[in-house]
């Protein structure tokens, strides 16, 4: 039933995108946002992407929906630039089906052209499950990198893939999954895994975003471990674009206040 309804969701303008800020821990600035799609179903209300993205994948609807999300996100970030906000990056999630879309690279190039967003402001998030077909991915990712976009591995450490893809793929950033962050203060294994990812990223010269920061204690630990960027409810939930635009300064000031209290940012 949902699949049936999803067929009309785009045309009926039931999909929309929220943006969650990613905060640089050295400056307290918003350096980027992650675009997260939502579906306002006419009868069932809000449906989470965790539910409908898999349906979109299975039905092939991910191709038009994925393109719409990408275009919406690029247009939005360009509009913020034009409105005078600091230039920030937008991270857009790709799903497996899109990776096998034959004209994905062309589609992304066209979207960048149409929206006039400079490619350095677009980051694509892939997941480890996409790294199974190493040859295909290596080719794809190099073509995408040639466009000037950057690549992040989402939910890093939760897949079953071999670490050797880090050697083959032109990756820029690892996103530490929130399941590791969740018990970072209490579980020594999670702590060890986070430390390991941070250290590996440093040696491989990759950027890191830690996801799902909800508590100051988690933040303190990540600061002490020299994590670069964080994303989580402690700083901000995913927000509607108009809200983010109107409250940009206060969101950033709030982030700086939190960091000042931890003696990271000078008051």
| Residues forming the site for ligand C2E (CB under 6 A) | 20, 35-37, 48-50, 53, 69, 93, 95, 154-155, 178, 211-214, 231-233, 238
Q: What minimum distance in Å lies between the beta carbon of 104 and Mg ion? A: 17
157 binds, among Mg ion, ligand C2E, none (CB under 5 to 8 A by kind): none
* Cβ atoms within 10 Å, residue 95: 22
- Among ligand C2E, Mg ion, none, partner that 48 touches (CB below 5 to 8 angstroms by kind): ligand C2E
- Give the residue with the Cβ less far from ligand C2E, 164 or 257: 257
Provide the minimum distance between the beta carbon of 259 and ligand C2E in the complex, in angstroms, as a whole number.
16
The smaller minimum CB distance to ligand C2E, of residues 20 and 252, is found at 20
C-beta of 159 vs 264, nearer to Mg ion: 159
CA distance 195 to 88: 28
The CB-of-267 to ligand C2E minimum distance in angstroms stands at: 25
Query: Least distance in Å: CB of 20 to ligand C2E?
Result: 6
Q: Which does 128 bind (CB under 5 to 8 A by kind): Mg ion, ligand C2E, none?
A: none
- Shorter beta-carbon distance to ligand C2E: residue 19 or 165: 19
Nearest Cα neighbor of 21 from 250, 262, 264, 267 is 250
Strands, E assignment, 177-255: 207-211, 229-231
Identify any residues that bridge with 38 across adjacent strands, giving them in sequence order: 16
Residue with Cβ nearer ligand C2E (64 or 164): 64
Q: CA-to-CA distance for 94 and 73, rounded, in angstroms?
A: 13
> How big is the chain by its Cα radius of gyration, in Å?
18
Under a CB-based contact definition with an 8 Å cutoff, are residues 134 and 159 in contact? no
The site for Mg ion (CB under 5 A) is made up of 93, 125, 154-155, 211
**Could you count the other beta carbons within 10 Å of the beta carbon of residue 245?**
16
Residues contacting residue 109 through CB under 8 Å, at least 6 positions apart: 147
| Shortest distance (Å) from residue 173 CB to Mg ion | 11
CA 42 vs. chain centroid, Å, equals 27
Cα gap 230→219, rounded to integer Å: 8
228 binds, among ligand C2E, Mg ion, none (CB under 5 to 8 A by kind): none
Least gap, CB of 164 to Mg ion (angstroms)? 22
**What's the rounded Cα separation, in Å, for the pair 166 and 204?**
9
Q: Which two tokens stand for residue 203?
A: 């040696």
Q: Please, which residue, 152 or 265, has the CB nearer to ligand C2E?
A: 152
């Amino acid at each position: 039933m949902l699949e049936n309804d999803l067929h009309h969701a785009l045309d009926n303008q039931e999909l929309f995108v929220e943006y969650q800020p990613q905060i640089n821990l050295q400056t307290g600035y918003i350096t980027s946002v992650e675009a997260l799609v939502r579906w306002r179903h006419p009868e069932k209300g809000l449906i989470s992407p965790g539910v409908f993205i898999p349906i979109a994948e299975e039905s092939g609807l991910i191709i038009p929906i994925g393109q719409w999300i990408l275009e919406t996100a690029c247009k939005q970030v360009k509009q913020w630039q034009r409105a005078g906000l600091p230039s920030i990056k937008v991270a857009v999630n790709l799903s497996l089906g899109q990776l096998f879309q034959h004209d994905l690279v062309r589609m992304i190039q066209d979207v960048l052209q149409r929206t006039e967003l400079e490619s350095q402001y677009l980051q694509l998030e892939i997941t480890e499950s996409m790294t199974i077909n190493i040859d295909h991915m290596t080719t794809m990712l190099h073509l995408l990198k040639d466009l000037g976009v950057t690549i992040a591995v989402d939910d890093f450490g939760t897949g079953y893939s071999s670490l050797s893809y880090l050697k083959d793929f032109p990756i820029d950033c690892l996103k530490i999954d929130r399941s590791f962050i969740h018990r970072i203060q209490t579980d020594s294994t999670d702590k060890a895994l986070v430390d390991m990812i941070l250290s590996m990223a440093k040696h491989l010269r990759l950027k890191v975003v830690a996801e799902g920061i909800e508590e100051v204690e988690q933040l303190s630990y990540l600061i002490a471990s020299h994590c670069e960027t964080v994303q989580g409810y402690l700083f901000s939930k995913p927000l509607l674009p108009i809200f983010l635009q109107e409250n940009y300064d206060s969101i950033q000031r709030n982030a700086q206040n939190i960091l000042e209290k931890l003696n990271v940012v000078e008051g």
